[in-house]
Amino acid sequence: MTLPVLAFLVVIFAVVMYVLLDGFDLGVGSLLLTSSDEDERDAMVESIAPVWDGNETWLILLGVTLLAAFPLAYSTVLPALYLPILVMQMAFGFRGVSFEFRFQTTRYRKAWDIAFTCGSVVAALCQGLILGAALSGIPATDGHYAGGAFSFLSGFSILSALATAAAYAVLGAGWLHARTTGEVQRKAGRNLRLALASFAVLACLAAAYMILNDGPMGDAWHARRMVFILLAVGALLLWALGWRSIGKMPVRARVYGMALITVFLVGIVVTVWPYIVPFSITIWEASAPSGSQLLLLIGVAVMLPVVLVNGIYVYWSFGREPPRAVNPS
Amino acid sequence: MDLDPVLLSRIQFGLTVTFHIVFPTMSIGLAMLLTVVEALWLRTKDELYLRIYRFWLMIFAMGFGVGVVTGIVLSFEFGTNSATFARLAGPVIGPLIGLEVLTAFFLEAGFLGIMLFGMNRVGPKVHFASTFLVALGTTISASWILAANSWMQTPAGIEVQDGRFVVTDWMQVIFNPSNLYRLPHMLLAAYISAALLIAGVGAWYLLKREYLDFARRTFSMGTGLLSQFIAAQLFMGDTMAVKMLPLQPSKFQAMEGYWDPTPTAPYLLVIAPDQEAQTNRFQFGIPYLGSLFVTRSLHGTMPGLEETTPNNQPPMGAVFYAFRTMFLLGLVLFAAACIGIFLRWRRRLFAARWYQKMMLILAPAGLVATVAGWYTAEMGRQPWVFYGLVRTADAVSPVSGASVLSTTLLFAGVYFVFLCAFLALTIRVIARGPADAPATPLYAGPVKRGLATDPALVLDGGKSS
């Protein structure tokens, strides 16, 4: 009975790592065109170029953990979210190749920058749609998805898409604010305020929707009201701390932003628990035979420390000096 | 209009996987070659090796990027398009792919950043270690993927309980009967492909009489490595074919193009198969050679596809021509390698322009043969998705044909853009020449200089920062 819980913890860990890490890449991508200066854009892309690939790998880990440990969830959720998942993949494609291609061309660099931004924004919006659709509940009968091709689309999922894009902008602007200097850093501070403000509005709307909802989301609110109130207080505190640190303590501003997003992820887990396909299949019902979960967990236990040390080393070796200062002030 | 989601999903997977496999093949091979070249540079301190490294690193980086983004698509298509496949096989091949991510992807992704951008930050020794670890990562990655795919070809180590696959022996799942033949076959294919690319670009410069020192070194390396790998590959391929015959008889029957078991069989080159009538309307081949290849005797009996009941047969034409493409290209490459050895012995390798033209034309041959090989393997497995256990038609998702059709068209468009951009930028890198790849390592300066191709940026090195 504990193996599925441990495997679920791996799923949660992968989600949190993915959102915090690739979230800032996608955020930086979304903010790329806020600068019209090519050197500034180069500095923005260069700050994430050495690490984005590793960041995106957490999404693959999430996918295969579901496939290996919760095959029933994988085979129900993915067909349900067919269109946003595949459109997200194409957006990832544009974002990913733009990294390598923009370095090789001067004349078409602007075109690849546009592809980069569109890819990042569309990927963020698709992930928000996926989250919104999942929280609205995915109907399944006998382990098969039982909805339509466009069931993922609803007012709430659109709200969730916008909130996700804003969350990633918080992370992206926080990263740039902490990791760059000069004009890029100053602009990132301004963008961070904008992103924090819009995220606050969108998150409050989503919370209001949840409280007024008479479906399973509303039930979750009524059942675990104290937990949600505590999380909300924490989020408010972190938001205010983040806001105050902008400009003065850039690294802290970034850390508060990351903590804020993490609190929301915890809130999402509290909402869906113990379902892995929200409100139709629990983690125990979706579990693979224990041998499969065990092999995966052994792999995770052995390799995760290596992966983390490796990742920290890469961040450290590129973080010792910030990428080139543009127009140092 | 009635859209068949099974057929459309297969077309979509076929399209995305075909496009994808070209890039990892290149990455596996080039990563190995880059490791060798960087080691040679560190050992000999010959700057030419560093120029070769920097030049091919630019192409490697673009190919790796395309490989990563097209690979993620596949791992999600298992679920979006083939939900039943995922539910059944998730517990068996899911952990293998999970281990791939944990042991290979993170390794590659982490050290790729240092390999591409870190020369000026970590120093040559750590940089070489990064190149080596990226190469190791691509090989480990290939090992897990081949284990998973081979399990689909020759499932072992499981039992079926209540319609679920339960693994009884992981060693049998991983080291399933076909894996240990197919993995070296694929790795050699990648090495051959990369050697051909390097020889082809060297040949191009030799023919244009440009960058001659670079051209001679890479042409010599490329043709030299090719001759060793192709010899190993012919042996490996032959061994594999003999081992696969009893494991997957229907694939083997379709590969050779015969419907009836035939003694003293010609080696067929052209067939016009009629699957309905279970016969070839036309066939042409070289007398005796078929029996000789397959049975090692002039009068041995070739197997025929009729030995498999029609509803379990793979499509004859597709499997036959895919296999012929791969095998005949293999023979052509073997001939090219032999000529290369002869010319080298006569000291005419850099003088024989007709041979350079030949190697230029053969530059993409390794990639074409690899794709044809995968077609042989995957089409030959049909109509099964797990050979002998589950049919492909029973593995799909409950999604509408319209959704699959629209995303397939989108993928085709997007991948077409990627392909054009990749080719255009690669051709530009080649046209600009290795002179632009900086000859001295830079240990300070901004990240972009690690991969910059703008001559002004490269030449001023780290000085301006």
Mark which residues 151-180 of B lie under 8 Å from A by CB.
Answer: 164, 166-167, 170
Asked if B94's CB is within 8 angstroms of A71's CB, the reply is yes
Chain B hits for A317, CB-CB cut-off 8 Å, are: 114, 118, 121-122
Chain B hits for A60, CB-CB cut-off 8 Å, are: 72, 75, 101, 105
Report yes or no on A83 lying in a domain. yes
Asked if B86's CB is within 8 angstroms of A75's CB, the reply is yes
pLDDT in tens, B439-463: 444 433 344 444 444 443 433 333 3
Cα separation, B375 vs B254, whole angstroms:
12
Nearest residue, CB atoms, A104 vs list B429, B447, B465: B429
Asked if A288's CB is within 8 angstroms of B68's CB, the reply is no
Q: Which of A21, A64, A92, A285 to mutate to test the interface with B (most CBs of B within 10 A)?
A: A64
pLDDT at residue B71, rounded to an integer: 87
pLDDT at residue B144, rounded to an integer: 92
CATH number for the domain that contains residue A127: 1.20.1630
Where helices occur in B308-460 by DSSP H, the ranges are: 316-345, 353-361, 365-381, 401-432, 455-459
- Minimum CA–CA partner of A288 in chain B: B91
CA distance, residue B297 to nearest chain A CA (Å): 47
- Show the low-confidence residues of chain B (pLDDT under 70): 1-2, 436-465
CA distance, residue A231 to nearest chain B CA (Å): 32
Chain A touched by B320 (CB under 8 Å): no
Report yes or no on A326 lying in a domain. no
Cα separation, A273 vs A16, whole angstroms:
16
Number of domain units in chain A: 1
Residue whose structure tokens are 């001067």: A106
Nearest residue, CB atoms, A50 vs list B117, B422, B452: B117
Q: Which of B77, B80, B108 to mutate to test the interface with A (most CBs of A within 10 A)?
A: B80
- Minimum CA–CA partner of B97 in chain A: A64
Report yes or no on A227 lying in a domain. yes
Chain B hits for A97, CB-CB cut-off 8 Å, are: 62, 65-66, 69, 418, 421-422
For residues A60 and B75, is the Cβ–Cβ distance under 8 A? yes
For residues B379 and B322, is the Cβ–Cβ distance under 8 A? yes
Chain A touched by B429 (CB under 8 Å): yes
Asked if B448's CB is within 8 angstroms of A46's CB, the reply is yes
Chain A hits for B103, CB-CB cut-off 8 Å, are: 299, 303
Residues near A216 by beta carbon (within 8 Å), at least 6 away in sequence: A137, A278, A279
Chain B hits for A323, CB-CB cut-off 8 Å, are: 446-447
Chain A hits for B436, CB-CB cut-off 8 Å, are: none
Residues near A108 by beta carbon (within 8 Å), at least 6 away in sequence: none
Residue whose structure tokens are 């543009």: A326
Chain A hits for B170, CB-CB cut-off 8 Å, are: 291, 295
- Minimum CA–CA partner of A51 in chain B: B113
For residues A104 and B453, is the Cβ–Cβ distance under 8 A? yes
pLDDT in tens, B360-414: 999 999 999 999 999 999 998 988 888 888 888 888 877 888 888 888 898 899 9
Chain A touched by B17 (CB under 8 Å): no
pLDDT at residue B1, rounded to an integer: 52
Residue whose structure tokens are 């499932």: B155
Chain A hits for B9, CB-CB cut-off 8 Å, are: none
Altogether, the residues listed in chain A come to a count of 329
Question: Reduced to 3 states, what is the DSSP secondary structure of residue A147?
Answer: coil
Residues near B293 by beta carbon (within 8 Å), at least 6 away in sequence: B267
Residues near A118 by beta carbon (within 8 Å), at least 6 away in sequence: A91, A94
pLDDT at residue A311, rounded to an integer: 84
Q: Which of A104, A106, A114 to mutate to test the interface with B (most CBs of B within 10 A)?
A: A104
Asked if A64's CB is within 8 angstroms of B98's CB, the reply is yes
> A-B interface: how many C-beta pairs under 8 angstroms?
252
Report yes or no on A324 lying in a domain. no
Residues near B173 by beta carbon (within 8 Å), at least 6 away in sequence: B92, B96, B147, B151, B156, B157, B158, B167
Cα separation, B143 vs B97, whole angstroms:
10
Report yes or no on A313 lying in a domain. yes
- For B79, counting Cβ atoms within 10 Å of its Cβ (0-12 exposed, 13-18 middle, 19+ buried), the class is buried
Altogether, the residues listed in chain B come to a count of 465
- For B213, counting Cβ atoms within 10 Å of its Cβ (0-12 exposed, 13-18 middle, 19+ buried), the class is exposed
Report yes or no on A112 lying in a domain. yes
For residues B60 and B161, is the Cβ–Cβ distance under 8 A? no
Q: Which of A97, A285, A290, A310 to mutate to test the interface with B (most CBs of B within 10 A)?
A: A97
Q: Domain range spanning residue A199?
A: 2-319
Cβ density class B255-290: b for 16+ within 10 Å, e for less? bbbbbeebeebbbbeebebeeeeeebeebebeebeb
Residue whose structure tokens are 């999380």: A231
Question: Reduced to 3 states, what is the DSSP secondary structure of residue A148?
Answer: coil
- Minimum CA–CA partner of A87 in chain B: B407
Cα separation, A210 vs A189, whole angstroms:
31
Asked if A56's CB is within 8 angstroms of B80's CB, the reply is no
Report yes or no on A179 lying in a domain. yes
Cα separation, B447 vs A320, whole angstroms:
12
Asked if B453's CB is within 8 angstroms of A103's CB, the reply is yes
CA distance, residue A121 to nearest chain B CA (Å): 16
C-alpha A274: how far from chain center? 21
Q: What pTM was estimated for this model as a whole? A: 0.87
Chain B hits for A313, CB-CB cut-off 8 Å, are: 110
pLDDT at residue B166, rounded to an integer: 86
- Show the low-confidence residues of chain A (pLDDT under 50): 322-329
